Structure 1
């Protein structure tokens, strides 16, 4: 599971496991300005969740069992009001595509990257594939393979890059190299 800190509202977030809590998964938060730590509950208080940022909101993605679908589904939750645990809203439920294959010993990792205007979603799956969810057809399809089969040592991390006119050199950093 990719657990890099996700920056929302000037705070870095990642998941932690609390062995003393019934709701074992929590989200740890580090306020960069005040240098203080805090934590709050993940959606529904448990299970493995992968964090990302969608629509400027903290996003939690998890695998859940759906009795209606008789199988696992991917749930995407957004924290609509930052810092308010009660503001978690389930935005998407997708049937997990069995064609992608997976290591049955570990829960699959889904990382939503971008939600498009029509509700479609681009996601990274298992640090190996880019997949695309169509909100219209409610299906997922593989876009491209990012890692070779059987290659357990190379992982891919994808994210949306938002260009800025602000130069890193203006921050006083030295040795800034631009790759064009």
Structure 2
């Protein structure tokens, strides 16, 4: 019997639009890939779970009114959880929901490839879940190293995440390759 899967869509929320590092350039490709992944999972009966991040900091504070899905993201999730740490499993209620639904395989997508997406993949793997990391359905931003001053492009940050996850914490996938591995679920 194939493991039951769930798509975990992490932090695709309005809060990011109000951060100084927000870069609109990569949004169209990310949006297209994420929407294709969601549609493909839905077609196979794979539950879609939204995760929102709330930490009391500016646009990520509940009082900001920005801890809500980006306007273009379908809001018909099978479940939605709010987290207060970098991974989606520790304090959100997600882990208990996954156990209740006998889900053992997680498909990870969302915003901040190297932060909440990568951290969730690592924790999920340590907890015994099979993890599929769909990099092209994640989004991140350029970052500047605090000591050297070197700026790493979003592509370099994403490639580093792929490097450290592959074969250790997750299986790397494109949207197409991930969807091709999904058995129909009901």
**TM-score w.r.t. structure 1 length?**
0.26
Between 1 and 2, higher relative CO (CA 8 Å, sep ≥ 6) is seen in 2
Flag the structure with higher helix content. 2
Greater per-residue strand proportion:
1
Larger radius of gyration: 1
What is the TM-score normalised by the length of structure 2?
A: 0.25
